[in-house]
Amino acid sequence: MPHTATSWDRLISKKRFETTDPKYSTDESVRGEFQRDYDRVVFSSAFRRLQSKTQVMPMPESDFVHTRLTHSLEASVVGRSLGRIVGKSILERHPELAQEKHIQEADFGDAVAAACLAHDIGNPPFGHSGEDAISAYFQSEAAQPYLATLTDAEKADLQRFEGNAAGFRTLTYTYPAHCSLPGGLSLTYSTLATFTKYPKESLPVIAGTKNTSEKKYGFFQTERAWFNTIAQELGLLKKGETDVVFYHRHPLAFLVEAADDICYRIIDFEDGLKLGLVPHAKGMDLLRQILNDNPNRKTSLHFYDWKEEIGYLRARIINKLIEETTAIFLQHEQEILQGIYDKPLINELECKPVLDEIKDLSVRLIYQNRPVLEIEAAGFEVLGGLLDACVKAVFHPESKHHRKLAELIPPHYLQLPEGASDYERIIHITDFVASLTDQAALGLYRKIKGIELPRMY
């Protein structure tokens, strides 16, 4: 049975959530629509908070260790290169895109860069263990009374909490108390779809799937209809049952995934080397294996030590991986447009065995390092404790104690439309807890538990 294909002329769309406010109009000859997306992410408070959220080491003391913010910036740089190289070839293959739709090479790069910049914007405190901590709370007996009226899909959103879905909500949801611009950051449809690596709702869970886009979900029930509108506008290919919001990826989402994979595989490993968690001789050997240089290759460069050399190796490796990844994408362009191809691009790199060895070493020596595990374990207590306190504050306002706790929650998280469901009330509270930085979450937990009293000024 032949596969239907989506088309680039619909996939690259500059349509965004409409606003009649003249302050938000601009001359596209000066600044392209996708560059505007990038800029809006940069100036958002949610992006700024990434500077104090875990990447490799929770609350690192060393100033060269990456945070979520520096990781996101580096991923966006890699993503822009991936997008522009792909865009150049796509326009050569489909010249009508430039002639009739005025699509430029930069549009591909800017859309991917903006999506990469935002790819971790919904991550809660304490990294991926923060997602597990939120999920664990909503699976606990303490949370069950508050979930009684929720649908199965709404429960799945909370009990399998997903930072990607929280990110989509951050980009598209507007709190009326603090923002007059509708549609969150009012990004273009193409950037939002490129951001969505998992274009499905939380149910059904597809256990054991080999398709990378089906392993997680990309939006909560609160944004379900909104994503469906975006997918239909862009002509994304439908998957699953008619009543389920479930689509094939936007092709550029594969480049976002690749940029993230390249950066965390190489740069997290570099952090582990500099922190002394990975033996430097072993680590440097693996990095050199990726380059696979001719043993007779000559260079005039001289390095003071291996720490200086690692920066040079990293730059060459990232350049090599960008070139090879874009070649793989372009080789499979038609399969991607038809929804046949659904796996990470880096899985087809020649150096994948070495990247897998780096990943295994990183998991064993960096991500499972004792201080990391200790802080992640503490994060379970902190996030579970905060969620329990905040949910009770919302559902039991008759208690003086809970009223006091409610006063600590920023008011816009408590403002709901008339007739709001229990699910919406819980999602608002979860938004608040997930938005906190590592330090802010820990500080608030200490205060509400009486472990630490606030300073009086």
What domains sit in the chain, N to C, each tagged with a CATH number? 129-158+369-457 (1.10.3550.10), 253-367 (1.10.3410.10)
3-state secondary structure 421-446: CHHHHHHHHHHHHHHCCHHHHHHHHH
Give pTM, 2 decimals: 0.93
Residues 287-294, mean pLDDT to the nearest whole number = 89
Closest CA to 41 of 84, 72, 78: 72
Q: How far does CA 71 lie from the centroid of its chain?
A: 11
Residue 332 one-letter amino acid: H
Compute the distance between CA of residue 300 and CA of residue 171 in angstroms, rounded to an integer. 47
pLDDT at 401: 78
Q: Please report, for residues 166, 249, 285, the alpha-carbon distance to residue 234 in angstroms, rounded to integers and kept in the order given.
A: 22, 11, 45
| pLDDT above 70: percentage of residues in the chain | 90
Per-residue pLDDT tens over the stretch 168-195: 999 999 876 444 445 789 999 999 999 9
pLDDT value of position 341: 97
Give 77-108 pLDDT, tens digit per residue. Answer: 999 999 999 999 999 999 999 999 999 999 99
pLDDT at 131 over 90: yes
pLDDT digits (tens, 9 = 90+) for 142-170: 999 999 999 999 999 999 999 999 999 99
> pLDDT digit string (tens) for 346-370?
999 999 999 999 999 998 998 888 7
Name which of 153, 150, 174 is nearest 219 in CA terms: 153
Q: What is the mean pLDDT of the chain?
A: 89
Q: Is the pLDDT of residue 338 over 80?
A: yes
Query: In the structure encoding, which two tokens stand for residue 120, read together?
Result: 């971790």
pLDDT digits (tens, 9 = 90+) for 181-239: 457 899 999 999 999 999 999 999 999 999 999 999 999 999 999 999 999 999 999 99
Can you tell me the distance from the alpha carbon of 411 to that of 274, in angstroms, rounded to the nearest whole number? Answer: 43
The reported pLDDT for the residue numbered 81 is 98
Paired tokens of 254: 């594969």
Question: Is 282 or 55 the better-scoring residue by pLDDT?
Answer: 282
Q: How much is the average pLDDT of 321-330? A: 98
Q: What mean pLDDT do residues 311-328 have?
A: 96
